[in-house]
Structure 1
């Protein structure tokens, strides 16, 4: 059985029963592709964060894949993983935001990407409101202020910093990491009030090699 045939076999298994276990099986099968794309950006961002984002993107690709188009699952996943460039480009400024605002930034981008794939076009404000569960006025404020926040860390109204559920999302990501990955995550994002560090300082503090980071 070829790699493409194995990819399709585990994908069909997931389609029949869309369980977390079957999704893990597909992600494991596609791990060489995931790691290849992570390696492209390693050094610009802590590897655990890149791997988390790559797996999220791969899972999106698995959910949206259709063999009818003729492309292989591996090709579809590879195309989606090109979006890794976005997280490396914006990370330096995003990491300076408080963790709850950082999470909202990534939550918005995730919802926007999912809707683009589902609809085949850029989503409307109403569609984003439905997907995110945010109010229309809050979403419009967020979209207008997003670029300014990233570039200037501009102050925002009090309600922006009190959205429920963000802490749980961050904790979900954090608790899935190994002890060393947790330390990297803390000092890369400022999670738990930790000081945000660049790669050189982080390597020195945690005694890591370039390959580990």
Structure 2
């Protein structure tokens, strides 16, 4: 596929994604502009990200630290590009994350928060963070238990260079949509409690391609889409 065709395809996929977000928001009685879209660009080349940027997409999510650093450097000429780190965090990678990310959406350890805060202080940089919640209590997923969110959020307040913006979760996929709905609603209840307590909290990152509508109906303010925008991954 030619570069021009790739650019058109990505632009069309973005338009379709926004249409779906708009339809789901209207069904939920919400304004579409209150739901943002993160384009998950892991394993995709910088040219694809630039194509999405040219089509109006500003926020991108990366799962791997070195890949984030490389792309952020290569695309530094693009103004207002916003990077979300959404993967598991190793202690020895926090300096790179602090340098290149604008958001950390997968914070689930105070040790990591402390290191990020230290690096951000050295950079004189404010970092937006989301607490990752293991809402499905899954052995294969990162995140803290729902019952631990309040205490974790309180501990984050001691870090001057971290701004708590809300919660993120990657729930299990269920054939039983009632179970899915119950988990989504539990997470939203927790989010609303945090929002009431902390003025900076405004983000619930929940929902991907297969559960986007259900997530928006349950209060999600941030959707993460990868293949729906960039196509299937090759590795």
Larger Rg: 1
Higher helix share: 1
Q: Does the TM-score normalized on the shorter chain lie above 0.5?
A: no
TM range (shorter): under 0.3
- Normalising to structure 1: TM-score of the pair? 0.28
